[in-house]
Amino acid sequence: MCGVIYKITNSLNGRSYVGKTTRFVEERFGEHAHCKKFLVDKAICKYGRENFLVEVIEECETIQQINEREIFWIAELNCKVPNGYNLTDGGEGNLNPSSETRAKMSAAQSGENHPMYGKHHKPETIVKMSATRRGKHLSETARTKLSVAKKGVPKSPEHRAKLATGNRGKNRGKSPYVNLLNEIDAHKLTYSALAEILGI
């Protein structure tokens, strides 16, 4: 299975929305409940998520099939405005955006475009965010992705200064084993002399 077609229904007025996703439908519904990008998002915000039912209406095997079936179900269930919450006939959108598209999406949410630009979380919000993450660990896959993303990225002068301050006063010399090997090599020590040095 590649993805699903889902339907969100407002139990108060019967209006519906048909969408597609390659993820868990509950996760997608959660995004609708926290965004205000689509008309259905605003409706969920207005009426409360407890008044909406989300269900999978069809499973699909390919991206092409997902797009085709979304068009079919929007028409079949008459979900377009003014009868429902869909604003288009469906079938548009890219479930697997290219690297160029991802870069554009990132730029659109960076700097001054980011909703948190120039703002700061309240101390109590930071505490709550910290509490929800406590005890959770990144998977090996996530760790690898983060490692690869950071590899080769130059450190800023401020970052280098912090690292230098953190390491100041620590013994950064060679290990005693390396020093001993150098000593052996320099003086051509015999096994008996080496045993005497090591106390064995």
- pTM value is 0.48
Residues in the chain: 200
Mean pLDDT of 72-79: 95
Q: Packing angle between helix 176-187 and helix 191-198, nearest 10 degrees?
A: 150
> What CA–CA distance (Å, rounded) separates 33 from 15?
16
Q: Which residue has the higher pLDDT, 166 or 41?
A: 41
Is pLDDT above 90 for 160? no
User: What domains appear along the chain, each with residue ranges and CATH number?
Assistant: 3-76 (3.40.1440.10), 173-200 (no CATH)
| pLDDT at 177 exceeding the cut of 80 | no
Which two structure tokens, joined as six digits, stand for 121?
């979380």
Average pLDDT, the chain: 81
Spatial separation of the C-alpha atoms in residues 38 and 31, rounded to whole Å: 11
For residues 176 and 64, the model is more confident at 64
What value does the CA radius of gyration of the chain take, rounded to a whole number of Å?
29
